[in-house]
């Protein structure tokens, strides 16, 4: 059967099945006929209990986890056969761990130049022009962390909050189709966390980025984005967009969480 191209969606997952450790005592049947369509420009907050499949969902889109069956489309193109590094050209990703998104032994300038050259080292050895350097400084100024004066500082010596802000900037420097945030503020103190969320919203709005943001912070999931998914055992228990999302409160989400806990006997 010919699969229909989901050309109106930015991301589309169709008939996804994924079981970890099949036929063993630790078997986890996670996704079973899972479907998800994300429209261009949608900013989706994803909540859900531990183990509900949020990270696996992101990993399948990025290519680090391959579904057992089903199809994944990006901008209407089936990307199932594309390697993770190939997908990374059009997908920006910020992880929970601040040490993941940047190279610690390289300076801020080198990290930015590397991202600017889409990971090619030759750009670094050629040096960075004065004009590019000024551009990097301007971009760093918006973080409001004073990093514009620390271009030659090794990224490994920055705080977690500074690194996450930088990782966000770097992952959105070149044009991308999709931004993926996996609990990117979870390791930060409240103030750094607020700052990174402010930046996230600014960058997403300014670039009109289609975004998938996993968070355990219910307040953020309500406050940010124009669509909310609550995942539970590999399916979306809540999927509310636009007005339906605006109508949701953290109490609604808590109530739903309590319901789930009751059902699974916690």
Ligand X SMILES: Nc1ncnc2c1ncn2[C@@H]1O[C@H](COP(=O)(O)OP(=O)(O)OP(=O)(O)O)[C@@H](O)[C@H]1O
Kindly list the residues in this chain that would bind ligand X in the complex (CB under 6 A). 20-21, 28, 30, 48, 50-56
Q: Residue 121 touches which of ligand X, Mg ion, none (CB < 5 to 8 A by kind)?
A: none
Nearest-10 crossing angle of helices 130-141, 108-116? 110
Q: Residue 18 touches which of ligand X, Mg ion, none (CB < 5 to 8 A by kind)?
A: none
Beta strands 210-214 and 43-48, pairing class: parallel
Q: Residue 53 touches which of ligand X, Mg ion, none (CB < 5 to 8 A by kind)?
A: ligand X
Q: With binding defined as CB under 5 A, does residue 55 bind Mg ion?
A: yes
Provide the 10 A C-beta neighbour count for residue 259: 12
Tokens 């050629």 belong to 126
Output the smallest distance, CB 24 to ligand X, in A: 10
Q: What is the DSSP letter of 154?
A: B
Q: Residue 21 touches which of Mg ion, ligand X, none (CB < 5 to 8 A by kind)?
A: ligand X
Q: Residue 51 touches which of Mg ion, ligand X, none (CB < 5 to 8 A by kind)?
A: ligand X
Output the smallest distance, CB 216 to ligand X, in A: 6
Q: What is the DSSP letter of 212?
A: E
Output the smallest distance, CB 115 to ligand X, in A: 26
Using the minimum distance from each CB to ligand X, give the nearer residue, 12 or 233: 233
Output the smallest distance, CB 198 to ligand X, in A: 24
Contact 56, 224 (CB under 8 A): no
Degrees, nearest 5: CA angle 255-198-224: 30
Using the minimum distance from each CB to Mg ion, give the nearer residue, 6 or 54: 54
Q: With binding defined as CB under 5 A, does residue 200 bind Mg ion?
A: no
Using the minimum distance from each CB to ligand X, give the nearer residue, 4 or 21: 21
Cα–Cα distance list, 153 to 10, 107, 139, 177 (Å): 37, 5, 16, 30
Beta strands 77-78 and 69-74, pairing class: antiparallel
Of 90-109, binders to Mg ion (CB under 5 A) are: none
Output the smallest distance, CB 21 to Mg ion, in A: 17
Nearest-10 crossing angle of helices 160-171, 108-116? 20
175: helix, coil or strand? coil
Using the minimum distance from each CB to Mg ion, give the nearer residue, 137 or 216: 216
Provide the 10 A C-beta neighbour count for residue 130: 8
Q: With binding defined as CB under 5 A, does residue 59 bind Mg ion?
A: no
User: Which residues of the chain form contacts with Mg ion (CB under 5 A)?
Assistant: 54-55
């Amino acid at each position: 059967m010919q699969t229909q191209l989901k050309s109106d969606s930015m991301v589309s997952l169709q008939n996804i099945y994924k079981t970890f450790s099949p036929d063993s005592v630790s078997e986890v049947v996670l996704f079973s006929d899972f479907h998800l369509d994300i429209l261009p420009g949608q900013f989706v907050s994803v909540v859900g209990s531990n183990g509900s499949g949020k990270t696996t969902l992101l990993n399948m889109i990025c290519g680090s986890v391959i579904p057992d069956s089903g199809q994944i489309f990006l901008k209407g193109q089936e990307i199932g056969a594309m390697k993770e590094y190939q997908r990374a050209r059009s997908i920006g990703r910020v992880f929970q761990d601040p040490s993941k998104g940047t190279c610690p032994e390289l300076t801020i300038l080198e990290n930015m130049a590397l991202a600017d050259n889409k990971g090619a080292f030759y750009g670094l050895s050629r040096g960075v022009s004065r004009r590019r350097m000024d551009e990097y400084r301007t971009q760093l100024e918006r973080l409001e962390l004073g990093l514009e004066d620390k271009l030659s500082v090794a990224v490994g010596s920055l705080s977690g909050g500074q690194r996450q802000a930088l990782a966000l900037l770097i992952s959105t420097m070149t044009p991308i189709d999709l931004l993926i945030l996996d609990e990117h503020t979870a390791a930060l103190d409240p103030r750094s966390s607020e700052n990174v969320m402010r930046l996230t919203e600014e960058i997403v709005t300014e670039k009109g980025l289609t975004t998938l943001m996993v968070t355990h912070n219910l307040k953020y999931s309500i406050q940010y984005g124009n669509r909310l998914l609550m995942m539970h055992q590999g399916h979306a228990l809540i999927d509310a967009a636009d007005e339906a999302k605006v109508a949701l409160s953290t109490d609604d989400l808590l109530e739903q969480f309590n319901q789930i806990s009751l059902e699974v006997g916690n």
